[in-house]
Amino acid sequence: MNALKRYLGISPVHARVVPFILFLAPLFVQDSLGEPTRYWIYLARTLIGAWCIWEMRSFVPEMRWAISWEGGVVGVLVLIIWVGLDPYYPPNALVMKAGEPWNPLKQFGTGSLGVFFFAVRALGSTLVVPQLEEVFWRSFLYRYLIRTKFEELPLGTLHWLSLIVTSTLFGLEHFQWLAGILCGLLYQFLVIRKNRLGDAMFAHAVTNFLLSLWVIWKGAWSFW
């Protein structure tokens, strides 16, 4: 057993928090080292995230994909909210640093390297991000704020204070903070309704995949 897997196995908290931190930590230097370094850092983050997902599988039984029509509807609805609300409120300049939009086609051109980094971002946000974020926010933190022995609490438990706190914190993690808060509420309600995490993972993946298509179609790189 490797060191990461041993560390994740220490406790249910470790198994759900450590992968999220490992994935998130490089973000704080990603945009401060200039171009094109941040694209390579995102590639590293994606690989780290995928490795963490592989190692945490046996410790996080709720991390199972569930494809459902409800998840698909929520995923599309969140995209509409994310794009539709954007012109009507200021971005999260307090927590998130405003910088040059992520645009690998501008940085590297439309050749193989530009396409490669677009694919890295699209696949990372579709397959890696939903699993790590849903496990941390919707499975762990939401229940942990209600009860420290959170595994004893069904995923379908409704607790309004925890719902508001976790959704707000999730929103503040994003540049589009208001859409992020509404997104967090919808994903959490989906978990509560279905009493499982997989539908929210699927909804999150649908949103991020469609957002990737929107970004490339409309040239709306500010969403990245």
Residue 12 lies in a domain: no
Residue 1 lies in a domain: no
Mean per-residue pLDDT, 130-152: 97
Please tell me the predicted confidence (pLDDT) of residue 96. 54
Residue 127 lies in a domain: yes
Displacement of CA 162 from its chain's centroid (Å): 19
Find the domain containing 193 and state its range. Answer: 65-223
Cβ(38)–Cβ(31) below 8 Å: yes
Kindly report the pTM of this predicted structure.
Answer: 0.94
Q: Is 83 helix (H, G, I), strand (E, B) or coil?
A: helix
Residue 47 lies in a domain: no
Residue 42 lies in a domain: no
Helix spans in 93-220 (H): 104-108, 112-123, 129-133, 142-144, 160-172, 177-194, 198-218
Q: What distance in Å separates the CA atoms of residue 160 and residue 118, rounded to the nearest whole number?
A: 38
On average, the pLDDT of the chain sits at 94
Residue 34 lies in a domain: no
Domain total in the chain:
1
Q: Is it the case that residue 32 has pLDDT exceeding 80?
A: no
Residue 6 lies in a domain: no
Please tell me the predicted confidence (pLDDT) of residue 98. 57
Please tell me the predicted confidence (pLDDT) of residue 29. 78
Please tell me the predicted confidence (pLDDT) of residue 35. 79
| Closest among 223, 200, 215, 217 to 73, alpha carbons compared | 200
Mean per-residue pLDDT, 1-30: 91
Q: What distance in Å separates the CA atoms of residue 114 and residue 183, rounded to the nearest whole number?
A: 29
Q: What is the pLDDT of residues 64-111, one digit of tens each?
A: 999 999 999 999 999 999 999 999 999 987 655 556 788 999 999 999
Residue 37 lies in a domain: no
Q: What distance in Å separates the CA atoms of residue 208 and residue 109, rounded to the nearest whole number?
A: 23
Q: Is it the case that residue 47 has pLDDT exceeding 70?
A: yes
For residues 27 and 50, which has the higher predicted lDDT (pLDDT)?
50
